[in-house]
Amino acid sequence: MIAHLRGQILAKSPNSVILDVNGVGYELAISVATFSEIGAEGAQAKLHVHTHVREDALLLFGFAEPAEKRLFEKLLTISGIGPTLAIKVLSGISSERLVGAIRGGDHATLTKIPGIGKKTAERVVLELKDKLDDMLGFTPAADAPQSLGAVADDVLSAMVNLGYPRPAAQKAVEHAAKDPAVSADFEQLFRAAMSNVR
């Protein structure tokens, strides 16, 4: 099993990276958070790796932080969540907010994540609520980052799903949401945020 890789970034996108390790190129699926943390193409990167073996494929999933890898592996213990959905979940919400939502039983936040329906959200809370004590550094729901509001959260989620790095998208949404003329309307706020992020 491959558990860790260090090498030069040959190519990267919001959902994958190709890492050159001593002349061998490894393609890893990554979350948007990891995409934002690792350097630009040509830079050196270190990734914690989860190796997923299937009958027809050997898949590698890379994480900039070991805590994100642990959270990914905890998601895999849930019936109905495979590695592809787990990495999408980690791209759709920050690890801190995800842990806070699970600990707080916040089904509404979980169902906003692409690919997570009501029943899956209930299973995640039921099965993981009391199994996140080792996620040190992650704050409980009461101390989780404040929501920007339902409309702004939806705009942020849409931008992340379009491939924009979460930190840049969040900054653009926060800036656009300061204008009360657009902050309550999804389409207007989305357009304003998109013009800020370019």
User: In the chain, what is the straight-line distance between the N-terminal and C-terminal CA atoms, in Å?
Assistant: 40
Look at residue 142 and tell me whether its pLDDT is greater than 80.
Answer: no
Residue 52 · residue 63 · CB < 8 Å: no
The arithmetic mean of pLDDT across residues 9-28, rounded, is 95
Residue 62 · residue 28 · CB < 8 Å: yes
The arithmetic mean of pLDDT across residues 112-124, rounded, is 89
Q: Sign of the C-alpha dihedral, residues 7, 9, 10, 13?
A: positive
The predicted pLDDT at position 46 comes to: 95
Percent pLDDT > 70 in the chain is 92
Higher pLDDT, 140 or 171: 171
pLDDT tens profile 70-113: 999 999 999 889 999 999 999 888 888 888 888 888 888 899 88
What lies within 8 Å, CB to CB, of 154 at 6+ separation is 112, 186
The predicted pLDDT at position 12 comes to: 93
Token digits for 105? 């039983």
* Mean pLDDT across the chain: 85
Look at residue 57 and tell me whether its pLDDT is greater than 60.
Answer: yes
pLDDT tens profile 144-169: 444 567 778 878 877 877 777 777 88
Q: What is the pTM of this model?
A: 0.67
What lies within 8 Å, CB to CB, of 50 at 6+ separation is 60, 61, 63, 69, 72, 73, 83
- CA 197 centroid distance within chain: 19
The predicted pLDDT at position 143 comes to: 38
The CB-side HSE value for 58 (13 A sphere, CA atoms) comes to 6
- One-letter amino acid at 182 equals V
Q: How many other CB atoms are there within 10 angstroms of residue 100's CB atom? A: 22
Look at residue 5 and tell me whether its pLDDT is greater than 50.
Answer: yes
